Structure 1
Amino acid sequence: MIVFVGAGPGAWDLITVRGQNYLREADIIIYAGSLVNPKLLDVKKEDCVVYNSALMTLEEIIYVMVAGERERKEVVRLHTGDPCLYGAIQEQMDALEQEGIPYEICPGVSSFCGAASALETEYTLPGISQSVVITRMAGRTPVPKRESIQSFAAHRATMVIFLSTGMLAELAEELTAGGYPGDTPAAIVYKATWPEEKVCRCTIDSLATTAEKEKITKTALIIVGRVLDSEYQRSELYNPDFTTEYRRASRGVKDNE
């Protein structure tokens, strides 16, 4: 069995209990060394063999997995955040299926959750935004035209933008071309939940200059939207005038049964 484990957003203690248990039991760990906090490996067994996938190709990673499985070793593939976001795990799972090797996925806390924590922000606020768009700028890896930043910006929903810190001037142009005003609040969250975490609040217009001033060139998320500064409507969930499945309204007649 190969286990894909989400390492969490960065802090060593934000991995799940299940994920940490898999690390403790592993005979082989292949981890994304350019992004995963190496302190997470402190729980490994003394004789555990560790590979840094930042130095490996897909074929080399699969070779280690297959060899480990054939030797009846416990193999953990440790990915940053949650493996389902920009983790390139589908190609690994497909290769394992071709080899007839079983696998499972242990989810993790994504960095976009860590960024919200750092910002002390809720991405979904009544009357402001009820949707979160998670996306990236097109770079060496293209993005389908129908999923361009400009097309998503037309909705003015909360946006969390990965892998785009080196293209902030272009990002700002795309956002404003799509419909966000230039003074829309934004934030650059560098290495969310790591000891060196840095939160830089700005606007769309000042994204590039803020990153330049703070010397941030990579390993950051960009958050855009009015949830960062707007007044919002109170949630109906705890409104005394609102009836739910579990509680009757204490006054008024508003009902959601």
Structure 2
Amino acid sequence: MIHFVGAGPGAEDLITVRGETLLKRADVVVYAGSLVNPAHLARTKAGCDIHDSASMTLEQVMDVMIPAAKAGKTVVRLHTGDPSIYGAIREQMDWLDAQGIDYEVCPGVSSFCGAAAALRAEYTLPDVSQTVILSRMAGRTPVPERESIRSLAAHGSTMVLFLSSGMLGKLSAELIAGGYAPETPAAIVYKATWPDEKVIRTTVAGLEQAAKENGITKTALITVGGFLGDSYERSKLYDPSFTHGCREASR
């Protein structure tokens, strides 16, 4: 059996209980060394065969995992955050399907959740935004035109942008061209939940300069939207004048 495990956003205690249990049982671990906290590897048992996939190709990863699985070993493929978001797991699962190798996915805490915690923010505020857009700038990996930053910005929703911290000048221009006002609140969250986490609050127009002043070029999430501001409506869920299935209005 091969287990795709989300290691969480960085802090070693933000892996799930299930993920930790699988790591402790693993005979073979292939982990994303450029992003996964190496402290997680301390959970593995003596004799566990550990591979850093940072310098490996997909073919090399499969050359490790498939023979181990066929030999009856427990294999953990350890991804950062939650493996369903920019985890490149579809191609791995399709390969395993073609080989008849059984696998399962253990979800993890995504870095966009870690960023919200660092910001002490709620992405979905009443009368501000009820939609969270997770996306990225086009780089060496292209983005469909319908999902360009400019197109998505037209919604005015909360946006969380991965893999874009090295292109902040262009990102700001695209966000503004799409409809965000230059003074729209924005934040850069560097290494969310890691010991060296850093939060920089700025505006859409100020993203590039804020990153330069703080020496940030990678490993950061960009958050944009009115959820970072001060105005919002109170939730109806806990409003005493609001009736719902669990409570009658008290006034």
TM range (shorter): over 0.9
Q: Does 1:124 align with 2:108?
A: no
Deviations 1:55-89 (Å, cap 9, x if unpaired)?
10000001111110121110000000000000000
Point out where structure 2 has 5 or more consecutive residues left out of the alignment: none
Q: Corresponding residue for 1:88?
A: 88
SS of alignment partner, residue 81 of structure 2: coil
Residue correspondences, number: 251
Give the distance between the partners of 1:70 and 1:154, measured in 2 at CA.
49
Q: Corresponding residue for 1:255?
A: none
Q: Corresponding residue for 1:191?
A: 191
Q: Corresponding residue for 1:220?
A: 220
CA shift, 1:148, in A, is: 0.4
SS of alignment partner, residue 221 of structure 2: strand
Is the contact made by 1:128 and 1:230 (CA closer than 8 Å) also made in structure 2? no
Is the contact made by 1:3 and 1:77 (CA closer than 8 Å) also made in structure 2? yes
Give the distance between the partners of 1:36 and 1:222, measured in 2 at CA.
20
Is the contact made by 1:6 and 1:106 (CA closer than 8 Å) also made in structure 2? yes
Identity across aligned pairs (percent)?
63
Q: Corresponding residue for 1:58?
A: 58
Which range is displaced more, 66-75 or 163-172? 66-75
Q: Does 1:204 align with 2:209?
A: no
Give the distance between the partners of 1:189 and 1:206, measured in 2 at CA.
14
Alignment of 1:136-155 (within 5 A): 136-155=136-155
Give the distance between the partners of 1:226 and 1:162, measured in 2 at CA.
19
Q: Does 1:170 align with 2:174?
A: no
Q: TM-score when scaled to structure 2?
A: 0.99
Give the distance between the partners of 1:231 and 1:6, measured in 2 at CA.
35
Q: TM-score when scaled to structure 1?
A: 0.97
Point out where structure 1 has 5 or more consecutive residues left out of the alignment: 252-257
Is the contact made by 1:161 and 1:222 (CA closer than 8 Å) also made in structure 2? yes
CA shift, 1:156, in A, is: 0.7
Deviations 1:169-192 (Å, cap 9, x if unpaired)?
000000000000000000000000
CA shift, 1:47, in A, is: 0.4
Deviations 1:126-168 (Å, cap 9, x if unpaired)?
0100000000000000000000000010011000000000000
Quote the RMSD (CA, aligned, Å). Answer: 0.5
Give the distance between the partners of 2:231 and 2:209, measured in 1 at CA.
27
Give the distance between the partners of 2:248 and 2:206, measured in 1 at CA.
48
Give the distance between the partners of 1:118 and 1:151, measured in 2 at CA.
28
CA shift, 1:229, in A, is: 1.0
CA shift, 1:230, in A, is: 3.0
Q: Does 1:41 align with 2:41?
A: yes
Structure 2 counterpart of 1:221, one-letter code:
L
Structure 1's consecutive aligned runs of 4 or more residues displaced over 2 angstroms after TM superposition are: none
Give the distance between the partners of 2:230 and 2:149, measured in 1 at CA.
22
Q: Corresponding residue for 1:71?
A: 71
